[in-house]
């Protein structure tokens, strides 16, 4: 699959923030490591998008370093990250949390491993 753009929905960005705050509350610095690790996993979709199995109608990729799943969909040469959820969550809550349609902005955009747009509040993420 030839993916040129990755868009992270606002809901998925909120999932990433929730995970970062959780891990940061466990030990200082782990939240930022979580953020870096998950963004690295998401950036790998440029190469691996479409090879993962579908669950609940979306592709699901497991994070390499944390027990989280990245749910995404494809449209043309763009991968849309729908949700980033802990794998230990009740599957019924996961299924209920998905929106049925592909996103429309606002969202955080990633292109070939680089942020090219802004978050909803108009700022760039702290980790590039």
Tokens 């497991």 correspond to: 62
Burial of 41 (0-12, 13-18, 19+ CB in 10 A): buried
**Beta bridge partner(s), residue 111:** 114
- Predicted confidence band at 14 (pLDDT cuts at 50, 70, 90)? very high
Question: For 91-122, what is each residue's pLDDT tens digit?
Answer: 666 666 665 554 444 444 444 343 333 334 43
In which order are the strands placed within the sheet that holds 68-75? Answer: 54-55, 58-62, 68-75, 78-86, 5-9, 107-111, 114-115
All structural domains of the chain with their residue ranges: 5-115
**Does pTM surpass 0.85?**
no
Q: SS3 of 90, please?
A: coil
pLDDT value at 34 more than 60: yes
CATH annotation of 5-115: 3.30.2310.20
> Percent of the chain having pLDDT more than 90?
62
């Amino acid at each position: 699959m030839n993916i040129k753009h990755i868009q992270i929905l606002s809901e998925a960005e909120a999932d990433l923030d929730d995970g970062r705050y959780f891990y940061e509350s466990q030990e200082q610095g782990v939240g930022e490591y979580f953020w870096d690790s998950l963004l690295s996993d998401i950036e790998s979709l440029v190469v691996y998008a479409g090879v993962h199995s579908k669950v609940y109608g979306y592709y699901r990729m497991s994070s390499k370093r944390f027990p989280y799943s990245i749910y995404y969909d494809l449209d043309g040469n763009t991968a849309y990250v729908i949700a980033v959820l802990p794998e230990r969550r009740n599957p019924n809550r996961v299924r209920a949390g998905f929106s049925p349609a592909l996103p429309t902005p606002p969202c955080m955009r990633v292109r070939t491993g680089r942020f090219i747009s802004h978050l909803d509040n108009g700022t760039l993420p702290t980790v590039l």
